[in-house]
Amino acid sequence: MPGEQFTDVGEGITLCHESFGDPADPPALLIMGLGTQMIAWRDDFCEELASRGFHVVRFDNRDVGLSTHVEGRPATLPQMFTRRLPDHAYSLEHMADDTARLIDSLELGQVHAVGASMGGMIGQVLAARHSEKVQSLVSIMSNTGSRWKGQPALGVYRLFLAEAPEEKEAFVDHVMRLFKVVGSRDDMFDEEYVRDVTARSFDRDHDPVAVGRQLGAVLKTGKRDAMLRAITAPTLVVHGTKDRLVRPSGGRATAKAIPGARLMMVDGMGHDLPRAAWPQIIDAIAENASRAGAAGAPSAQVAA
């Protein structure tokens, strides 16, 4: 594993990325979610996926981790609630274009795009806008941008929108309180891992303003149903039955909007990627890729 590398993808954006497995294997590009660094795709998850015959690439989106942080204040809460974002705010289209240029810069050809939460949204936009670069798509715990589908449970808003502390330990505790509400069922939730990756992410990069700019990108793009209908890549939609941050209606709406998409509900999974669900998810990623004529995989339990 070569370790972290940096690639200038143009438009003033440099992305930090890391790879696992044989570069000769079909590329699986992992796209992480809101305010979340690439290390949230755990090393052993990446290694397990690579062992299934993929060249796995993970990266930090703009405004998170070691990739470029753009300038400017995020939208205000009233602007976000009304979805009237300022002209200077970037959108999911900009983030998908970053991703497309990374694919070109790394000469990956066609990728198997796997996105989680906002990363699933970026993957959707990538597959719609840059169909020639996406061989298959897996959208995990994401939605269509609808105001009525896949929105947080009412009790989650207070925690999700609360101002995070600046001191490291207090910040970690703050994130833990959120994930104990939106994370997986108790017997699946990996508290030690969530605490560890939050602390390591804080040390690696801490920009409390940037997450607001990313949230603005989601809201500026808005409802994506028409865009999703243009996706032609074989698509799998994965969602946890216990997700309270992006409720399961978001996954169902996504699968309905994308032609031919398959829906897999993971019992007990919340808005995280618990180790207990990895075998099911990794099998399903590989099987979806095989629909596009790439690496084969054992059969997974995929429900339409």
63 torsion bin: left (phi>0), alpha (psi -120 to 50), beta (else): left
CA 187 remoteness from chain centre: 24
pTM of the model as a whole: 0.93
- pLDDT tens-digit profile, the chain (304 residues): 469 999 999 999 999 999 999 999 999 999 999 999 999 999 999 999 999 999 999 999 999 999 999 988 787 777 777 777 887 889 999 999 999 999 999 999 999 999 999 999 999 999 999 999 999 999 999 999 999 999 999 888 888 778 889 999 999 999 999 999 999 999 999 999 999 999 999 999 999 899 999 999 999 999 999 999 999 999 999 999 999 999 999 999 999 999 999 999 999 999 999 999 999 999 999 999 999 974 433 333 344 3
Among the residues of 3-82, which ranges form H helices? 43-51, 77-82
Q: Which two tokens stand for residue 114?
A: 């796997």
Domain ranges of the chain: 5-291
CATH number for the 5-291 domain, one of 3.30.70.920, 1.10.357.10, 3.40.50.1820, 3.20.20.70?
A: 3.40.50.1820
Our measurement of the distance from residue 1's CA atom to the centroid of its chain's CA atoms, rounded to an integer in Å, reads 22
